[in-house]
Amino acid sequence: MTPREQTDCLLQQWLQMTRAESQAIQAAAWPKLREIQSRKAALRQPLGLAFRQWKSGQPSGPGPAAQNPFRAPLARLIALEERNAQFLAGRRENARRQQLRLERAAHNLRNLRRSYGPPPPVAWNSYS
C-alpha cells in the first residue's frame, strides 16, 4: 500500500470513528465514547507517519495548494470534530444545570426537614 493509500485508509477510519463518536455523545454512551477516543488516540501515530511518508515523496518547493489531496477530507473531519465538541459541551452544560437543580432540591429538603421535623435528641440531660 502506498503512503497516500495508507493515509486515505487511516483518514477513513478516523472519519468512521468520529461519526461513531457523535452517535455515542448523542446517546450519552460514555463508556463507548471513551473506547472510541482511545482508538482514535492509537490511530494518531500511524496517521502522522503515513502522512509524513507521503509528504516526503512529494516534490518540494512552492506548489498549488490543490496538490494536497487530503485538504477536503481533513476539512470535513475538522468540521465533524468541532460539531462533536459542541455536542459534548452542550451535554456538559445540561449535566451541570441538572446537578445544580439537584443540589438546590437537596438544600430545600434539608431546610424543610429542619422546619417540620422533630428536634434532634438531646445528648445531655444535665451538666454537673
Which string of b and e fits 35-60 if b means at least 16 CB within 10 Å? ebeeebeeeeeebeebbeebeeeeee
DSSP assignment, residue 57?
T
User: What is the rounded CA–CA span in Å between residue 61 and residue 30?
Assistant: 46
Closest by Cα among 53, 49, 52, 20 to 37: 20
Q: H or E segment at 18?
A: helix 3-26
pLDDT value for 66: 47
pLDDT value for 117: 72
pLDDT value for 58: 79
User: What is the rounded CA–CA span in Å between residue 74 and residue 47?
Assistant: 12
28: phi > 0 → left, psi -120 to 50 → alpha, else beta; which?
A: left
DSSP assignment, residue 68?
-
Chain center to CA of 98: 19
Place of cell 490511530: 43
pLDDT value for 61: 59
Tens digit of pLDDT at every position of the chain (128 positions):
899 999 999 999 999 999 999 999 999 999 999 999 999 999 999 999 999 999 888 776 555 544 789 999 999 999 999 999 999 999 999 999 999 999 999 999 999 888 887 766 767 766 65
pLDDT value for 60: 64
